[in-house]
Amino acid sequence: MLTYIVVYAAVVVFAVAVIARVLFWSRLPMHVRWELYPVAHEASRAHYGGSYLEETDWWQKPREKSMLGELKAMIPEILFLVALREHNPRLWVRSFPFHFGLYLTVGWAGLMAVAGVVSAVAPGLLEGGFGSLFRYAIVGFGSVGLCLAIIGALGLLQRRLGDPELRDFTAPADIANLLFFLVAFGLTLLTFVLFDRDFSRFTFLVANLVTFKMEALPGAGAEALLPQASLVLMGLLMAYIPLTHMSHFVGKYFAYHAIRWNDQPNLRGGAEEPIIHALLCQPVSWAAPHIKGDGKKTWVDVATEEIKK
């Protein structure tokens, strides 16, 4: 019973924390735009770095926006960390297996959840060849995902502790986060190797979670204790992630769509105009000589006043 309660609580914490992050970032003031091209949703110009600003009287013409173009940029970046591979290949060889292992592990949990729902609703679907294929997929996603994530976490830990350039930017929390992953994933992989080669015990527990049965796991001793302890640790890790800077999996959406790809024009009477006006009326308290903010001047004052030499 305690195992199920802890995991349910972890799911609630995860969901609440993610929603809170989304609301927090969505309510932040408008960001200064990068104005870097190409912008992925430029339907016919992204491939050469163009933009709608090339057109004469562009403000009078409908803008082309392509969701497919954004997906073509986002999916490789999410799955394969393309930008990191291009700009920091030494870090990529450690970060990619870690992140891809996490994706496979999430898929593993999803497959077990689906198996639990199908077993409750239509158990016959998981019999025969399709059922065997589904069980092989659970084993493949789980074992490969756990191994890749552990290898990546060890590589990242080695890089943070061994690279003098990165060591200065490494906080104790960074080390603690990687150790948490290693403990949770390591115990789960150990359980798989010793007692649960087909992940049937994990599937049993996850199936009970999604069907709200809370049945006791058959067996005794380490054979029953290790799967439950692993599931509890994985649940606590899931709840912990969005409470830390590892919630960048949510922030990345805003970094791309609200900053990097935000090319919405500021037209007279448009949606952007009142937002920008409100921000320009904010007081400035910067003490730099070229600003001399006293807490009373606004950004409009700063931008329009003459600089005294």
Q: Do 41 and 70 meet the contact criterion of CB atoms below 8 Å apart? A: yes
Residue 296 lies in a domain: yes
User: Do residues 191 and 284 share a domain?
Assistant: no
Q: Which domain holds residue 290?
A: 277-304
User: Do residues 115 and 242 share a domain?
Assistant: yes
Nearest Cα neighbor of 139 from 73, 208, 199 is 199
Residue 147 lies in a domain: yes
Residue 241 lies in a domain: yes
User: Do residues 135 and 228 share a domain?
Assistant: yes
Look up residue 56 and give its DSSP letter: T
The CATH number of the domain holding residue 233 is 1.20.950
Domain boundary among 207, 228, 247: 247
User: Do residues 11 and 144 share a domain?
Assistant: yes
Residues in contact with 167: Cβ distance below 8 Å, sequence separation at least 6, in sequence order? 160, 161
Q: Where are the alpha helices (DSSP H) in the chain?
A: 2-26, 67-80, 82-87, 89-121, 128-162, 164-167, 172-194, 200-211, 222-240, 248-254, 272-280, 299-304
Q: Do 232 and 248 meet the contact criterion of CB atoms below 8 Å apart? A: no
Distance CA 119, CA 96 (A): 34
**pLDDT at residue 308 is higher than 70:** no
Q: What is the structure's pLDDT at 307? A: 64
Residues in contact with 164: Cβ distance below 8 Å, sequence separation at least 6, in sequence order? none
User: Do residues 192 and 126 share a domain?
Assistant: yes
**pLDDT at residue 250 is higher than 60:** yes
User: Do residues 135 and 188 share a domain?
Assistant: yes
User: Do residues 194 and 282 share a domain?
Assistant: no
Tell me the average pLDDT across 102-114: 97
Residue 262 lies in a domain: no
Residue 76 lies in a domain: no
Residue 253 lies in a domain: no
User: How many structural domains is the chain composed of?
Assistant: 2
List, for residues 122-181, the tens digit of each pLDDT value. 888 888 888 899 999 999 999 999 999 999 999 999 999 988 888 888 999 999 999 999
Distance CA 151, CA 95 (A): 10
Distance CA 281, CA 273 (A): 13
User: Do residues 18 and 167 share a domain?
Assistant: yes
User: Do residues 300 and 191 share a domain?
Assistant: no
User: Do residues 146 and 224 share a domain?
Assistant: yes
Domain boundary among 205, 232, 247: 247
Residue 226 lies in a domain: yes
Mean of the per-residue pLDDT values of the chain: 92
List, for residues 251-261, the tens digit of each pLDDT value. 888 888 888 89
Distance CA 222, CA 57 (A): 72
Q: What is the structure's pLDDT at 138? A: 97
List, for residues 3-57, the tens digit of each pLDDT value. 999 999 999 999 999 999 999 999 998 888 777 888 999 988 888 988 998 999 9
Task: Look at the alpha carbons of 219, 222, 227, 233 in this order and tell me if their dihedral is positive or negative.
Answer: positive
- The model carries a pTM of 0.89
User: Do residues 289 and 166 share a domain?
Assistant: no
Q: What is the structure's pLDDT at 32? A: 80
List, for residues 161-173, the tens digit of each pLDDT value. 988 888 888 999 9
User: Do residues 172 and 231 share a domain?
Assistant: yes
Residue 53 lies in a domain: no
